[in-house]
Chains A and B, each alone.
Chain A
Amino acid sequence: DAGVIQSPRHEVTEMGQEVTLRCKPISGHDYLFWYRQTMMRGLELLIYFNNNVPIDDSGMPEDRFSAKMPNASFSTLKIQPSEPRDSAVYFCASRGKGWGADGNTIYFGEGSWLTVV
């Protein structure tokens, strides 16, 4: 399996621009998570989906952030308008069904490194 695939890997954008981050989860996984990682705050959960439905978006910092999952193999995280404080690494992760060791494990992509100048 190719693992969780994220794009772009690196993005530099100007303040006020729209940013769209993309994620393809592992095939067959029914949970998808978006995390943000910074030195100050560590790894923070922004939102997660189950079977393409957003379950908990309480970690989304504000209305400038939105996430969608139109189908089981694709999700986007959008920031509009972007601000310098949004600079961080954004990780997508997915998890399989069941309660075995694999079912409890989440698999991360390599992250999208966002810099807003």
Chain B
Amino acid sequence: SQKIEQNSEALNIQEGKTATLTCNYTNYSPAYLQWYRQDPGRGPVFLLLIRENEKEKRKERLKVTFDTTLKQSLFHITASQPADSATYLCALEPPGTYKYIFGTGTRLKVLA
């Protein structure tokens, strides 16, 4: 079945380190992939979009890569801070559907 998987349920890292989150998908050939952040009790909030012809995208301390051969996206937070603690979701839109499919999410905790 078509699915999007994200690594581990929870990821704990020390403040200042780089957090790396993984998003793997099967049976899709998306034109782009998105990453969202979700805080407890809140709705997901868009962070970054990367297109299939972009290998890497950066925004401040965030970096996203997109490997269409591996069907994988990596999401990096450099110099992580406790305020980065949240659940991070990847999402893609199967071409021609307008249906955004979300991954299972990775809960990140940055320890002070």
In contact, A104 and B97 (Cβ under 8 angstroms): no
A18 within 8 A of B: no
**Given A42-B104, A104-B32, A105-B49, A56 contacting B43 (CB threshold 8 A):** no
Contacts of A31 in B (CB 8 A): 98
Size class of the B contact interface (CB-based, 8 Å): 20 to 34
Contact check, A104 vs B49: say whether CB atoms are below 8 A apart. Answer: yes
Give complex CA distance A50, B97 in Å. Answer: 11
Instruction: Confirm or deny: B101 has a beta carbon within 8 angstroms of a beta carbon on chain A.
Output: yes
Contact flag A108-B43 (CB < 8 Å), given A33-B100, A43-B89: yes
Question: What per-residue 1/0 map shows which CB atoms of A41-63 lie under 8 Å from chain B?
Answer: 01101001010000110000000
Please determine whether A108 and B104 come into contact, CB atoms closer than 8 angstroms: no
B93 touching A104 by the CB < 8 A rule? Answer: yes
Within 8 A of B (CB), among A50-80: 50, 55-56
A42 to B89, CA, bound (A): 10
A25 close to B (CB within 8 Å): no
Whether B44 sits at the interface, judged by CB under 8 Å, is: yes
Q: Which of B9-40 contact A (CB under 8 A)?
A: 32, 34
Residue pair B97, A106 in contact (C-beta under 8 Å): no
Q: Which 3 A-B pairs have the closest CB atoms?
A: A108-B43, A43-B102, A105-B46
13 A-B pairs in the complex with CB atoms less than 8 angstroms apart: A4-B43, A42-B103, A42-B105, A43-B44, A43-B89, A45-B99, A48-B99, A56-B98, A93-B43, A104-B93, A107-B46, A110-B43, A111-B41
